Structure 1
């Protein structure tokens, strides 16, 4: 059983353009669609589509039109006053994606406590809890820490905890030492390290900023350079790091080893949800008892499967490439 928490769900409206986006111009659209979005919902949809037991926890008003898009996805909702935000995604024939994300409704302390209680109830005895996405207005950046600590303290059989977030929310989760896995992309990993350095007083000089700029250049030139950066965090602050590197592949680093793999040849149509699908693929393999290489392979297969689909569609087992994905163990 896997439980996801989506604190800032979104109604994803996707428009497929007939040509590349041109600012200030009138353009033709080929198609449009609406899907229930938010990183945790995306992860849950991929898991459910693969036949895995899953429950998605989220704040949602009874009269929110978003509810009708969830279909038969197993959910546990906590009622709130506002409606889910709307996100607009524009994709062109070359797979270039432009996203416009609106803020979500403000959540107060009562809603936050109710959501933590709902998560604690749902996850007792589960294999994994995935805390995913941005936090809505009204919540402190350490909210995911509050969730993780409540789960650890109040569940008789607490699950492993994964966090897929960015910015301050991710930095707070890592600093707490209460999570088992984080899934940053390359930009989020660099930002996390820079924030960690700033909090320690290092990144206050010109030399430190030049240092992080050089790190980013190294990562673009050689994706396996992410190993050294992830090792700053593993296992001292977090037990494992799954770094998604877009078309370059992904890397998994934990205390028992590190692995790198590149995706199969993929005709990228949209990158929306690819990272969420990668996390779902990892969790599926983890629950199945696969080793690090197997988990990384599954993450890449699901991530690239979603990238090959238009708009906000998410990969199902039928969409996955059957090509071999060689995994290289790193020293």
Structure 2
């Protein structure tokens, strides 16, 4: 069983527009409202593919109650923790060429007592878990070392921990030796202080994060695929997407597919890439189902250190 924790979940409204032009009235081609947050999306992707998962979800205010209702309608197994502050709302503007513009609210802070209650909820639900996925941005004023502290607690309980976050929270988590981290290209650069322009740079950055404590690095490189660096070496994979619609949730689908396939080796990387590619071809933050996923367009190739990467992947 895979347990997910999202400290800063959200309601995600995705609006599809023909073109984004500032200062004008834009009529939406389509719109949808989905539950959001990295860990929530990992659990939703696993649910869509009949993989056992449970999401620990703090919620507050009318937005939080709506989030819980939407998750319940999807049939997600979850443990909810009521908190004082309201759950945030995010807006994504999606253009036909796959360009995404996101406006994310910061969310409400969590008190030390609320953080303890959430951690206890995770431990209570994780007795049969193989993995805990601790992911997403931190609410305002929450200490940057919160994931590191949670990682130590969960690891001490015999549970593998995957961390998917950014900035100081990612850097701090490395001291707790998480079993897996899943940075994207921007997060790789930020965490290491490196300029990453090619595959070789990404490999060096992943090695630097492993030296700092992470046992496995699964790096999502956007249109350039994904990189897996662990004790067995370096693996690189590409995924073809004929008609990209929304990259929202693609990294979460990558992580979900990787964990669902055993979280190790080439087959897990292929599965993660297949799930991510399927997510990119879907509207909003809809998670891919088995009928959406194909592995035909996935290629594992020897990493070319000189290959240039698309900026902002």
TM-score by length of 1: 0.87
> Contact 1:5/1:40 (CA < 8 Å) preserved in 2?
yes
1:255 matched residue in structure 2: 231
Residue 54 of structure 1: aligned partner: 53
Structure 2 contact 38–252 (Cα < 8 Å) conserved: yes
TM-aligned CA deviation for residue 324 of structure 1: 4.5
* Aligned residues: CA RMSD: 1.7
Q: Does 1:84 align with 2:60?
A: no
Cα drift, residue 330 of structure 1:
5.2
Q: 2 CA distance for matches of 1:62 and 1:233?
A: 38
Give SS of 1:107's match. Answer: coil
Query: Partners in 2 of 1:228 and 1:110 — Cα distance?
Result: 39
Indicate conservation of the 8 Å contact 2:48/2:287, yes or no.
no
| Aligned counterparts of 1:129 and 1:329: Cα–Cα separation in 2 | 31
Aligned length, in residue pairs:
300
Secondary structure of 1:141's aligned partner: coil
Query: 5 Å matches for 1:53-202?
Result: 53-61=52-60, 64-70=65-71, 71=73, 72-153=75-156, 155=157, 158-174=158-174, 176-194=175-193
**Deviations for 1:224-259, whole angstroms, at most 9, x for unmatched residues?**
431122112225511100111111111000011110
Cα offset for 1:67? 1.4
Q: Deviations over 1:80-109 (max 9, x none)?
A: 122210001111111111000012122111
Question: Aligned partners of 1:265, 1:54: CA distance in 2, in Å?
Answer: 27
Structure 2 partner of 1:20: 19
- 1:45 is matched with 44
The offset of 1:34, in angstroms, is: 0.6
Matched residues in 1 for 2:220 and 2:181: separation? 11
Q: Provide closer, same or farther for how the CA distance between residues 306 and 4 of structure 1 changes in structure 2, counting only shifts above 3 A.
A: same
Partner SS state of residue 234, structure 1: helix
Q: Give yes or no for contact 2:151–2:176 (8 Å, CA) kept in 1.
A: no
- Residue 28 of structure 1 deviates from its aligned partner by 1.3
SS at match of 1:326: strand
- Which of 277, 286, 295 is the equivalent residue of 1:304? 277
Q: What corresponds to 1:199 in structure 2? A: none
